[in-house]
Structure 1
Amino acid sequence: MGRLQELFAPETVAVVGATDRDGAVGRAILENLAADFEGEVVPVNPNRDAVLELECYPDVSSAPPVDLSVIVVPPSIVLEAIRESAEAGVENVVVITAGFSETGGEGAARERELREIAAEYDLNLVGPNSLGVMSTGVGLNATFGPENALEGSVSFMSQSGAFITAVLDWANEQGIGFRDVVSLGNKAVLDEADFIREWGESPDTDVVIGYLEGIDGGAEFVETTREVTAETPVVLVKSGRTDAGAKAASSHTGAIAGTERAYEAGLEQAGVLRARSVQELFDYARALSGLPAPDADGVAVVTNAGGPGVLTTDAVGDSSLEMASFTDETIDALAEAMPEEANVYNPIDVIGDADLERFDEALDIALGDPNVGAAVVVSAPTAVLRYDELAEAVISRHTEHEKPVVTCLMGGDRARAAEISLREFGVPNYFDPARAVSGLDALARYRRIRERSVDAPATFDVDRERAREVLARAESRTDNRLGVEAMDLLEAYGIPTPTGEIVDDPDEAVSVAESIEGEVVLKIVSPDISHKSDIGGVKVGVSDDEVYDAYEDVVARARNYQPDATIIGVQVQEMVDLEASTETIVGMNRDPQFGPLLLFGLGGIFVEILEDTSIRVAPIGEGAAREMVDEIRAAPLLRGARGREPADVEGVVETIQRLSQLVTDFPAILELDVNPLVAGPDGVQAIDLRLTVDTEEL
């Protein structure tokens, strides 16, 4: 394990603020530690000689050498207690006390100082405002919760202490065990990435699960968790879904992406299995901690009840799995073994009078089929079938075939007795067939996570200095926004743009148009007018003799629409053939948690109406850029659907990567839209641009 080993396996724990006063948190923690902890418990309180018959010390420095300090003193003296522990050589600290950043003002200032002390002494600090930590490996319960955890191989973290107490109460009833449990509290020092890294290195943790309300260091989280999920599954429930971030954004990308989609992208790239509910969180954990991943997506369903069998089949259809197609040999073997009334196709219905032998034989034959990667055994209670015997048969076949099997033994007491036997061999039982399939689905999804490869971002030869000069133009803008006048930025990063210039005089417009072969496009250039087409600020297919009047018209329309708008000029641009092309959008919104969030999708005027987009956290490589293109519903248009000539998809993939490099190189870019990026048979071209710059970051 890593640097947090002593946090979960200390030999001596000090409770700073220990007391024997009824109802006090300091007493509850001391009692929980004294109950099962294999090491020494040291109460620290200058006003006591003994607490709960344990010798009490006035300070940590007076006590025997301490590995972990649990601090539960008033907020006003927490910092003093942390420093005192650090001076005594303690490296691991859990701060139970609340009254820090969650209270604002003075508490936030106190938490900043807490971080400074932790950094000064290089402390592993959990909290503040934490319920505490547990580790069943050494009987450690350094919390003030009412329940200790059962032993198991699942490690669990939560931003909510109340959530932990509720989960442990429920999990004990369900027979679900844990290895380590951490209440993250305010995450002033140690956060979710630290514990995921630690548990990923631990041979005692098979699955990491968690409840999170937010992720502060999104980029580090993605990098750390991606490495861990290559070997250890991570399942998270993320609460606090909101569209507030989208409402606050000014660009197309920002409006579409929003905070929730940032989490979706970040968690997916990190290899996290995201659960939609607490029940699903533990359904996934039970399957992942006890079963091997299926080597194929085909599922066999064996049941003695037609209705539940159909429900199971529907659930498979709703998942990423599929109902297995049996080989002819499997069907023949089932037909020979089963009565005529039975269904030998998938789902296998052994019918209601099936005894143990028939059920067992059907499962054995199904698991022997090469197209079957996993099985679901679904049973309703009958007088001719004992669940405890069926459980033994399932365990035997699961072990023999080395394929994951989950059960849905429906009922009450009969099922509970069998469930205990199944649990000992890692086979989870679910009352609902949909939950059983969901557990298998998590196994298959995790297999795909382990199989996928993540390529390193490409590094293109670009002109960073030219790009910096273009971005610096925003310093003269009150709103820090740039538009098509900054097209040089794209050219500096090798993103193709049409020939054109921005002019502020109709005669200049004519001159530029005459230097461009064919008809041209005229667009008003104003940082105050976002939707130029809506106000008539764009003229398409303008011939040389129409340019003068078209210039005057777009300027007049802009003035009428917004008299106080700043008008930089009019862009005269080479005409691009849109009929043979597809308009797409490539953009970026800098998310406060995850950093640069890339967006690709169907562009033009439909971007916010259809919202056909894909999202990734930058930087990304070619594989992720290609996935972004393939994921949108309009992808067939790019590949030549219904007789259309295929667009230059490789050019689109490269453009996404170049934009990824641009926004990674320049954290000053807060939002950026290339809309449309026109993708045609002969290449791609960025037609329009809009971005917002944080000039203080330049």
Structure 2
Amino acid sequence: MGRLSTLFAPDRVAVIGATESEGAVGRAITENLQATYDGEVVAVNPNADEVLGLPCHDSVADVEDADEIDVAVVVVPPGIAVDAIREAGEAGVRNVVVITAGFGETGSEGAARERELRDVAAEYDLNLVGPNSLGVMSTPRGLNATFGNEMAQEGSVSFMSQSGAFVTAVLDWAAERDVGFKDIASLGNKAVLDEGDFVAEWGSDPGTDVILGYLEDVDEGAEFIRTAREVTRETPIVMVKSGRTDAGASAAASHTGAMAGSEEAYEAGLEQAGVLRVETVQELFDYAQILADQPLPDGDEVAIVTNAGGPGVMTTDAVGDAGLSLADFGDETLETLSESLPEEANIYNPVDVIGDAPAERFELALETVLQDDGVAMAVVVACPTAVLDFEELAEVVIDCQREYGLPIATTLMGAKSTGPAESTLNDAGVPTYFDPARAVDSLDALRRYDEIRSREHVEPETFDVDRERAREVIERGVDRGSNRLGVEAMELLDAYGIPTPEGEVVDSPGDAERVAEGIEGDVVMKIVSPDILHKSDIGGVEVGVSTDEVRDTYEDLVVRAREYQRDATIVGVQVQEMVDLDAGTETIVGTKRDPQFGPLVLFGLGGIFVEVLEDSTVRVAPVTKPEATAMIDDIESAPLLRGARGTEPVDEAAIVETIQRLSQLVTDFPSILELDVNPLVATPEGVTAVDLRLTIDQEEL
């Protein structure tokens, strides 16, 4: 166990604000502790001599051996809560659960109070839960330091929630379904302890087999990824993340900024952390049950055994929808099934033992398919009939699962007749569901977690780059009076080893001609202005300009820019080597700084298609080589990069390296808020960054 072990396994708990007043939270918590907790409960209230039979103390400091109090639960009004916490810290208490509301969730005055609370916790090195928390539970000690009306049943799942109401709802739901827990924590405002602290604690807890969570935000995204990535090597984490939003996207200055919003950040961050994200409470506990009780599969091949054709087809569809494979049986398996089952039965997957099958026929079929080397897991789907005893079937499934060691999920499609059998299966750790899709999705959770455990964990590559040159480019651009830079900052990419076309930004027709003369062939010319983001829309780009046309083109571009916006800042015109866009595939790489997770890196199909197709994927920086490689796999347009319709495949290794180099760039420079390289032209010979746009936070320079 880690540093929070005494929070969940205390010998002594003090309730600061204990009371006998009917309906008071202090009374509910005291009663809950007295009802189930096997340790000592200490009542603290200066206005009472006794509370619910407990002698009452004026303050924690007045308690004999106060430094042996493991947890102080604070239920006093917000105006005096901080002082009560300070007294607890001075007395030697190390764990504090602040039930009291009226802090950061209530406005500026509450936020100031929460900052003070945080300072006190830091001064006394307190493990502080909340404020605005429902409390904490731990079933091994019977600890119910909450004001909920339900004590959890014992189990091996530990659960955290940012919503106290969600905890009470889940406990009520779980009690109806015999779902048990090890520890439960209501995070509240997360002033001190947050989701990462509990993930770390439960990851080191031998009594926790699965970690569940309901989150509305993640405060320290990068740190959470690092912590969860380590924990998920041994302990699965399943989370509901609510609060999907596009807020902020409309204000973004780049394509990346518009597409890589907060939801994409959470999706990428949780995936990189190895967290299994779900959308519903049902999925949360479906996954928890199977991950806690069933072995991991050695493959994705599913065998289906059923006594009903329709549900068998439904299950087959669910296997396909989940991305699992329908197992192909070997000749020996097919021969055994053919000899043993009725002629009307279907011996191919899904195996239909037909409607008159008793439990013994299910057993024969299930044993046969589980012995097939091409089967990694199985679903048993049964409808009620006059000849099938569900309780006998439950025993068959349990015996087969134990004998063959493969994961099995069951679907008993009934209600009145399934109850005892479901209890038998659940008690033995074999999950059962009414809907076959839920059974298959749960098996897929096992497969996905097995992939997470098998991931290659590598450190991000560090390339030899010219950081000082990059810094000078950024500062030089900002010195011109704008925080938005364009192609005038192409040297930034060159400093980080990202290939760019030959070219230069000039401020006169003569210099434009000089640069063009040094470039072989016709050139591209682009107006350079921080006030004109979409140059093509105003005629600010000319392609295929010959040397003798360069001077006139320079003048034309400046005139068009002035006509579009008279007061626009004109830095000059970029004269650039032409890149044959038809010789490659236009992609985009970009970054955006997320408030929770830090810099994000985006990759997708680029050029004119970036806004139309929106085919992109995001990772949290720093991006490793395996993660950059996976980004190419993620986009639907990946076949275009790999030689679709007879075209030559592009140099994927060059794309992967560019993603990594850009990741290093934005990690090195927190001042870069957003950045687009669009297009990044990918060819069989490599990549070339043709255009650039970035936004700088001048306060971070």
TM-score by length of 1: 0.99
CA-CA distance at 1:478 after TM superposition: 4.8
Equivalent in 485, 497, 520 of residue 494 of structure 1:
497
Deviations 1:650-680 (A, max 9, x none): 2111111111111001111111111111112
Distance in 1, matches of 2:250 and 2:288, equals 35
Q: Is the 8 A contact 1:580 1:645 kept in 2?
A: no
Q: Secondary structure at the match of 1:539?
A: strand
Relative to structure 2, which stretch is displaced further, 507-516 or 295-304? 507-516
Equivalent in 122, 125, 132 of residue 122 of structure 1:
125
Distance in 2, matches of 1:665 and 1:375, equals 49
CA-CA distance at 1:490 after TM superposition: 1.0
Equivalent residue, structure 2, for 1:317: 320
Matched, 1:348 2:347: no
Matched, 1:273 2:264: no
Deviations 1:255-296 (A, max 9, x none): 011110110000000000001111111111111111011112
Letter in 2 for 1:469: E
Q: Secondary structure at the match of 1:165?
A: helix
Structure 1 stretches of 4+ with a deviation exceeding 6 A read none
Equivalent in 215, 219, 223 of residue 216 of structure 1:
219
Distance in 2, matches of 1:181 and 1:473, equals 53
Distance in 1, matches of 2:298 and 2:649, equals 35
Equivalent residue, structure 1, for 2:542: 539
Equivalent in 505, 510, 527 of residue 524 of structure 1:
527
Letter in 1 for 2:46: P
Equivalent residue, structure 2, for 1:19: 19
Q: Is the 8 A contact 2:489 2:692 kept in 1?
A: yes
Equivalent residue, structure 2, for 1:47: 47
Distance in 1, matches of 2:391 and 2:544, equals 78
CA-CA distance at 1:427 after TM superposition: 0.5
Letter in 2 for 1:50: E
Matched, 1:179 2:195: no
* 1:136-147 mapped onto 2 (5 Å cutoff): 136-147=139-150
Q: Secondary structure at the match of 2:622?
A: coil
Distance in 2, matches of 1:655 and 1:304, equals 54
CA-CA distance at 1:574 after TM superposition: 0.6
Relative to structure 2, which stretch is displaced further, 473-482 or 67-76? 473-482
Q: Secondary structure at the match of 1:414?
A: coil
Distance in 2, matches of 1:358 and 1:483, equals 71
CA-CA distance at 1:474 after TM superposition: 4.4
Equivalent in 686, 692, 696 of residue 693 of structure 1:
696
Equivalent in 129, 134, 138 of residue 137 of structure 2:
134
Equivalent residue, structure 2, for 1:156: 159
Distance in 2, matches of 1:190 and 1:345, equals 53
Distance in 1, matches of 2:477 and 2:78, equals 45
Distance in 2, matches of 1:204 and 1:611, equals 44
Equivalent residue, structure 1, for 2:73: 70
Distance in 2, matches of 1:407 and 1:629, equals 37
Relative to structure 2, which stretch is displaced further, 130-139 or 471-480? 471-480
**Two-structure CA RMSD over aligned residues (Å):** 1.1
Equivalent in 92, 101, 105 of residue 104 of structure 2:
101
CA-CA distance at 1:473 after TM superposition: 2.6
Equivalent residue, structure 1, for 2:619: 616
Equivalent residue, structure 2, for 1:484: 487
Matched, 1:84 2:84: no
Equivalent residue, structure 2, for 1:240: 243
CA-CA distance at 1:637 after TM superposition: 2.4
Q: Does the C-alpha gap of structure 1 residues 479 and 508 become closer, same or farther in structure 2, counting only changes over 3 Å?
A: closer
Equivalent residue, structure 1, for 2:3: 3
Deviations 1:71-103 (A, max 9, x none): 000000000000100111000000000000000
Q: Is the 8 A contact 1:474 1:693 kept in 2?
A: no
CA-CA distance at 1:556 after TM superposition: 2.0
CA-CA distance at 1:536 after TM superposition: 1.4
Equivalent residue, structure 1, for 2:444: 441
Q: Secondary structure at the match of 1:383?
A: coil
Distance in 2, matches of 1:434 and 1:630, equals 26
Letter in 2 for 1:34: Q
Matched, 1:416 2:441: no
Matched, 1:660 2:663: yes
Q: Is the 8 A contact 1:503 1:572 kept in 2?
A: yes
Equivalent residue, structure 2, for 1:679: 682
Equivalent residue, structure 2, for 1:505: 508
Equivalent residue, structure 2, for 1:635: 638
Letter in 1 for 2:652: V
Letter in 2 for 1:38: D
Q: Is the 8 A contact 1:474 1:695 kept in 2?
A: no
Q: Is the 8 A contact 2:523 2:545 kept in 1?
A: yes
Deviations 1:404-458 (A, max 9, x none): 1111112123211111111121111101111111111101110011111122111
Q: Secondary structure at the match of 2:526?
A: strand
Q: Secondary structure at the match of 2:158?
A: strand
Equivalent residue, structure 2, for 1:288: 291
Q: Secondary structure at the match of 1:244?
A: coil
- Structure 2 residue ranges without an equivalent (≥5): none
Deviations 1:370-424 (A, max 9, x none): 1111111111111111111110110000000000111111212321111111112
CA-CA distance at 1:479 after TM superposition: 4.3
Distance in 1, matches of 2:348 and 2:281, equals 35
* 1:551-570 mapped onto 2 (5 Å cutoff): 551-570=554-573
Q: Secondary structure at the match of 2:570?
A: coil
Distance in 2, matches of 1:535 and 1:354, equals 74
Equivalent in 198, 203, 206 of residue 195 of structure 1:
198
Q: Is the 8 A contact 2:303 2:369 kept in 1?
A: yes
Equivalent residue, structure 2, for 1:596: 599
Letter in 1 for 2:35: A
Letter in 2 for 1:395: I
Distance in 2, matches of 1:102 and 1:292, equals 43
Equivalent in 650, 653, 677 of residue 653 of structure 2:
650
Matched, 1:452 2:452: no
Letter in 2 for 1:4: L
Distance in 1, matches of 2:237 and 2:249, equals 28
Letter in 2 for 1:287: I
Letter in 2 for 1:422: L
Letter in 1 for 2:4: L
Q: Secondary structure at the match of 2:111?
A: helix
Q: Does the C-alpha gap of structure 1 residues 677 and 362 become closer, same or farther in structure 2, counting only changes over 3 Å?
A: same
Letter in 1 for 2:610: V
Distance in 2, matches of 1:671 and 1:468, equals 16
Deviations 1:84-130 (A, max 9, x none): 00111000000000000000111000000111111111110000000
Distance in 1, matches of 2:98 and 2:156, equals 26
Give the number of equivalent residue pairs. 698
Equivalent residue, structure 1, for 2:231: 228
Equivalent residue, structure 2, for 1:258: 261
- Structure 1 residue ranges without an equivalent (≥5): none
TM-score by length of 2: 0.98
Equivalent residue, structure 1, for 2:307: 304
Deviations 1:45-71 (A, max 9, x none): 111111001111111122243100000
Letter in 1 for 2:141: V
Equivalent residue, structure 2, for 1:58: 58
Deviations 1:442-499 (A, max 9, x none): 0111001111112211111111111111111344355411111111111111111111
Q: Is the 8 A contact 2:477 2:489 kept in 1?
A: no
Q: Secondary structure at the match of 1:413?
A: coil
> What percentage of aligned pairs have identical amino acids?
69
CA-CA distance at 1:501 after TM superposition: 1.0
Equivalent residue, structure 2, for 1:626: 629
Relative to structure 2, which stretch is displaced further, 23-32 or 673-682? 673-682
CA-CA distance at 1:635 after TM superposition: 2.1
